[in-house]
Structure 1
Amino acid sequence: MREKLLRKLEYINKWRMQKISNRNFIIVLAFLVGIVGGLAAALLKGLTHFIASTLQDDIEWHYKYGLYLIFPLIGIFLSVLYVRKFIKDKKLEHGITPIIYSISRKSSRISIHNIYSQIITSAVTVGFGGSSGLEAPIAYSGSAIGSNIGRFFGLSYKEVTMLLACGATAGISGAFNSPVAGMIFAIEILLSEFSIPVFIPLLISSALAAVVSRILYSEPLFHTTTTGWEVESIFFYLILAVLIGLFTIYFSKTSQMVKNWFGRIKNPYNKVWISGISLGLMIFMFPALYGEGYISIQQILDGRFDSIVKNSLFAEFKDIWWVVLCYTVLTLFAKSFAALFTINGGGNGGVFGPSLVMGGLLGFAFAFGVNQTGIVQLNVPNFVMAGMAGALAGVMHAPLTGIFLIAEITGGYTLMVPLMLVASISYFINRAAMKHSIYTKVLAESGDLISYEDKDRTVISMMKLRYILETNFVVLRPEETPVQRKSDIIHSKRNIFPIVDDKGKLLGIIYSERLFSILLDEAEGKDKTFAVLAQKPADIIDESENMERVMGKMNKDDVWILPVVNKDNQYLGFVSKSSVFNKYRSLLIRQGQYLE
């Protein structure tokens, strides 16, 4: 039955290729990706909130303190258990970084299990109180939808990449009900270089995902009434922008520190215990850390400024303004650790949502604190929204996404000028200290990041040594002589010969000019073994080295070809500048077609 269905689908696809051009077919698939992406977003939001409400409803408040200690631990444990029992040999990654890596290094291929695995693990993690966001998992799930649909129909790299971006767009659009921000997210984060035709599929997927998600799950993320902004407040928006920019630098560096720390813990269940218990204790002290944290932001937008303290151990001091202010600042920094512990401890989620929450808390703390001085009265909700936009812009290096996302999800288009100022300044401050965003730093350090600012270096970094390795060389043994291998030497199309022992280890090389000289001149000593005649190569390439280092070795000694060995010094072949240049040209052509 399955084989019959596959044959039928293959027949339909062949007919489609004859009748419909890929350019037009992409539009059709963009509709499909948008609908499926919207369904996935609605499913994730609905499942997460169902788990959260089931755990919290009908439970008396004084019992919840104890439950807060174990719920996050259970959620992270279930997420790890799912990965180890159901995915097993496959890998479940989280965040936006793996999506970018798939575009750079894996021909935009994303494993099909990510379509559902991202939804299951993130819903369990966040539904049980994990302090992370759902946006990165749904973007990953949407990207997997687009990638696998494109691959199923046998599309090219650029077309699969286009559908992958449509999937990510659909995920963000469906999660936030923000079609414009979803499209801009894909352009800023995933499609660094684009042309006008790219907009059409992205617009279609984004719009359809927003429609489908709104039909199935209509509850808005935030709701607030914005009356406008005052010109007199511009100076304070500028100060907020600087504070947000500095905070995003702190968060980016803390993220790397926590990731390295958890990376040293090898047993995944030890990570679960450490992160789960730590998170439970943090939530016990700061209940606003439970789950995504959007509820706390909404309460602040509604004018309930004491809500962040109200359900905590310090609830009796909720009417003392400086307690509210200090507690908010502590919650802000605790949120950064809570989110990072959730993600690195084994739970699934992203820093997209936590960035919004942290930015909102900082915006609230700033405006609320200034108002207490009596110097001026700032519109607190406006500063909360500006803080969210600034944090997203700084952490993700995506100012346009931050601006339009906040404008769409809050209906605050009248705040465009403050949002633009805060987001752009925060972005430039973070960019000045952190060349790469929290998503791209690791990829940049490993040479796996596509960067259009340095195209030559980017194209070279995209190459894999194993794909340009040349092996059609005549191998000479150390105990042999030129006379014994005369025929092979003469008929070889190569001018260099590796000398390899019985264990496969490279002993040296010898060039054809030297061998011909020996064979034609008796005085040279035709009976000398290759062990004696072997020459030391200018350098040796290890199979694990990246192409930037390979080209550096070649340029340093001005050589055209170098031998390649493995970690045991066993001969694998040669890499030449000719093969590098040919691969470079093919990659340039591929990039030229990338987003036509």
Structure 2
Amino acid sequence: MNKRRKHIITRLNQWRMQRISNRNFLVILAVIVGIIGGIAAAILKGLTHSIAAFLQEDVQWEYKYYLYLFFPLIGILLSVLYVRRFIVKGTFDHGMTPIIYAISRKSSRIEPHNVYSQIITSALTVGFGGSAGLEAPIAYSGSAIGANAGRFFGLNYREVTMLLACGAAAGIAGAFNSPVAGMIFAIEILLPEFSIPAFIPLLMAAATASVVSRLLYSEPLFHLVTEDWEFQALLFYVVLAIAIGGFSIYFAKVSTWVKRMFASIGNPYRRVAIGGLSLGLMIFLFPALYGEGYLTIQRILDGRNDALLANSIFAGYGHIGILVVVYAVITVFAKSLASLVTLNSGGNGGVFGPSLVMGGLLGFAFAYGINQTGLIELSVPNFVVAGMAGALSGIMHAPLTAIFLIAEITGGYALMVPLMLVTAISYLINRAALKYSIYTKVLAEQGDLLTHEDKDRTVLSMMKLRYVLERNFTILRPDERATDRRHDIIHTKRNIFPVVDMDGKLLGIIYSERLFEILLGEYPEREEKTMRELAEKPVDIVQMDANMEAVMQKMNREDIWILPVVDGDGNYMGFVSKSAVFNKYRALLMRQGTYLE
């Protein structure tokens, strides 16, 4: 059965390579990944919110506070049991860090079970009240969809990585109904290198996922039409940004401490018990910690400034402004601890959503607190929105994602200037203290982080062109015609042919699409043309003694993935491709056991 399946896949790949160019096929796959990613996002949101609605609305009110103590524990326990029972052969990770690791060290391989296991475990965790977000699980699920689709069709590392990023973009776009933010998220967080052509597959995947998700689950995340910002409030936005930047540093350090604390607990069920009961107690005192926390943010945006205290043992004090401010600040720190306890005790989720909630609550506490002084009247919703963007930018090191995500999901385009200001300041403060984001810190410490900055030049200088030179190309002679070499042209695995004379001089190159058009009879007038007449001049040529840094600069400048190589006399030697360079690049990094900074 496996041989038959492999044969079918091989035949399918041969057919599509003859009929569809790789670039167009990548766009088609991006759309398919977007559709499946949008469906996955809708399923995750619908399932999670159905569980939460059942527990909150169908349970008798008088018992609800007591059950809050146990709901998170049950959800985390069910998640752990699912992983230990059904994921026997593979491994299970959560968050964005494993996706980045897969790109850096595992040739973008992600185990297929993540397509559904991320959805199941995160729905159980968050639906039962786990204080985490759904964005990281759906991004992980989408990445698994994209990566495995690319591997199914035998695509190379670059293309698989692109589809992985398309899947993550689709997940974020579907979760937030925010296609632009999904695309930018994939570029800022996941892609190890970026070029303009990457926009098209990413945009197609994100837009498709957003449409599909909205069709299946149309409830928007937030309802808000923001007011325009006022110039006299600009200084207060700067102060808020500084405060959020400092908080993002605190959150990163607490994250490390909580992770180490739970890692020291060897028994997984003991971790579940400690984490679940601690979380239940926090939710009992601060009901806003239940689940994602977006509902509380929406109530604040609607002008219900006492929403934080609602359903809590402090509900009767909602009319005291200073108490609301203090309670909001305490809730921010409680949310940071609750989300980290949820994730490290065995639950599945991410810090993406909690970052938004913590930033929104900080913005609320700041603006509402200033308003209590009577010195100035600030727009509370505007500062809530700015706070959300600032926290996301500082914690994730993703300012562009923060700006466009918040602008899209809240309708806050009128606040573009404050959003840009707050995200930039928050990011710079965090980056000044912490070189790596909460996603990449662990990988950097382990030597598993790939970036393309300072040490690229060092690694490239270690490479020799002869070690990445590819020679297995079908050589065509200048006096031959396409029909003379029909068999060789059809059966070659390459899509480019060098035209070389009998003295070994490179005369030009011909792409397979042009030859296939002739062989299929689409241009009868070209059948008698020789290879010399059909050949075209390559965009550029690489000399055999060129260093790899110069080669990569040529490829990046011309936005091309493969170039012919000649010696000093112009004799054809072979081709060099970005794929081969990247493969060697990763091999050198693996051998060094170091990371790029």
Task: Tell me if both proteins adopt one fold, taking TM over 0.5 as the criterion.
Answer: yes
Tell me if 1:401 matches 2:398.
Answer: no
Q: Which residue of 2 aligns with 1:208?
A: 208
> What letter matches 2:584 in structure 1?
L
* Contact 1:363/1:383 (<8 A) preserved: yes
* Contact 1:451/1:458 (<8 A) preserved: no
Tell me if 1:285 matches 2:285.
Answer: yes
**Length, aligned pairs only:** 471
Distance in 1 (CA, whole Å) between partners of 2:135 and 2:232 is: 35
Q: Which residue of 1 aligns with 2:46?
A: 46
Distance in 2 (CA, whole Å) between partners of 1:263 and 1:301 is: 38
Distance in 1 (CA, whole Å) between partners of 2:30 and 2:283 is: 41
Structure 1 SS opposite 2:453: coil
Distance in 2 (CA, whole Å) between partners of 1:308 and 1:328 is: 7
> What letter matches 1:26 in structure 2?
L
Q: Which residue of 2 aligns with 1:446?
A: 446
Q: How does 1:12-31 map to 2 (within 5 A)?
A: 12-31=12-31
Distance in 2 (CA, whole Å) between partners of 1:301 and 1:94 is: 31
Distance in 2 (CA, whole Å) between partners of 1:184 and 1:332 is: 27
Distance in 2 (CA, whole Å) between partners of 1:316 and 1:249 is: 34
Q: Which residue of 2 aligns with 1:268?
A: 268
**CA shift at 1:316, angstroms?**
1.0
Report the RMSD for the aligned CA atoms in angstroms: 1.9
Distance in 2 (CA, whole Å) between partners of 1:340 and 1:226 is: 31
**CA shift at 1:12, angstroms?**
1.6
Q: Which residue of 1 aligns with 2:434?
A: 434
| TM-aligned CA distance change 1:167 to 1:459, over 3 Å | farther
Distance in 2 (CA, whole Å) between partners of 1:584 and 1:270 is: 47
**CA shift at 1:18, angstroms?**
2.5
TM-score normalised by the chain length of structure 1 = 0.77
| TM-aligned CA distance change 1:118 to 1:458, over 3 Å | farther
Q: How does 1:247-266 map to 2 (within 5 A)?
A: 247-266=247-266
**CA shift at 1:315, angstroms?**
0.8
Q: How does 1:543-554 map to 2 (within 5 A)?
A: none
Flag structure 1 segments of 5+ consecutive residues without an equivalent.
Answer: 464-582, 592-596
Q: Which residue of 2 aligns with 1:175?
A: 175
Q: Which residue of 1 aligns with 2:511?
A: none
Q: How does 1:159-174 map to 2 (within 5 A)?
A: 159-174=159-174
**CA shift at 1:453, angstroms?**
1.6
TM-score normalised by the chain length of structure 2 = 0.77
Once the two structures are superposed, residues 205-259 of structure 1 have per-residue CA deviations (whole angstroms, 9 ceiling, x without a partner) of: 0000000000000000011121211011000000000000000000000001101
Once the two structures are superposed, residues 482-530 of structure 1 have per-residue CA deviations (whole angstroms, 9 ceiling, x without a partner) of: xxxxxxxxxxxxxxxxxxxxxxxxxxxxxxxxxxxxxxxxxxxxxxxxx
* Contact 1:449/1:458 (<8 A) preserved: no
Q: Which residue of 1 aligns with 2:111?
A: 111
| TM-aligned CA distance change 1:143 to 1:61, over 3 Å | same
Distance in 1 (CA, whole Å) between partners of 2:217 and 2:587 is: 40
* Contact 1:450/1:458 (<8 A) preserved: no
Distance in 1 (CA, whole Å) between partners of 2:586 and 2:374 is: 63
Tell me if 1:587 matches 2:584.
Answer: yes
Tell me if 1:69 matches 2:66.
Answer: no
Q: Which residue of 1 aligns with 2:359?
A: 359
**CA shift at 1:59, angstroms?**
2.6
**CA shift at 1:89, angstroms?**
3.3
**CA shift at 1:459, angstroms?**
4.9
Distance in 2 (CA, whole Å) between partners of 1:420 and 1:76 is: 37
| TM-aligned CA distance change 1:589 to 1:295, over 3 Å | closer
* Contact 2:336/2:354 (<8 A) preserved: yes
* Contact 1:75/1:130 (<8 A) preserved: yes
> What letter matches 1:174 in structure 2?
G
> What letter matches 2:125 in structure 1?
T
Distance in 1 (CA, whole Å) between partners of 2:180 and 2:164 is: 17
Distance in 2 (CA, whole Å) between partners of 1:20 and 1:288 is: 52
Distance in 1 (CA, whole Å) between partners of 2:305 and 2:318 is: 9
Distance in 2 (CA, whole Å) between partners of 1:459 and 1:121 is: 40
**CA shift at 1:62, angstroms?**
2.3
* Contact 2:227/2:382 (<8 A) preserved: no
Structure (1 or 2) with the larger CA radius of gyration: 1
Tell me if 1:384 matches 2:391.
Answer: no
* Contact 1:110/1:147 (<8 A) preserved: yes
Q: Which residue of 1 aligns with 2:153?
A: 153
Distance in 2 (CA, whole Å) between partners of 1:58 and 1:443 is: 43
Structure 2 SS opposite 1:404: helix
Q: Which residue of 2 aligns with 1:93?
A: 93
Distance in 2 (CA, whole Å) between partners of 1:302 and 1:291 is: 20
Flag structure 2 segments of 5+ consecutive residues without an equivalent.
Answer: 464-579, 589-597
Structure 2 SS opposite 1:225: coil
Once the two structures are superposed, residues 88-134 of structure 1 have per-residue CA deviations (whole angstroms, 9 ceiling, x without a partner) of: 23211000000000000000000000000000000000000000000
Distance in 1 (CA, whole Å) between partners of 2:19 and 2:413 is: 44
Distance in 2 (CA, whole Å) between partners of 1:60 and 1:458 is: 65
Distance in 2 (CA, whole Å) between partners of 1:429 and 1:208 is: 36
Distance in 1 (CA, whole Å) between partners of 2:46 and 2:93 is: 22
* Contact 1:248/1:394 (<8 A) preserved: yes
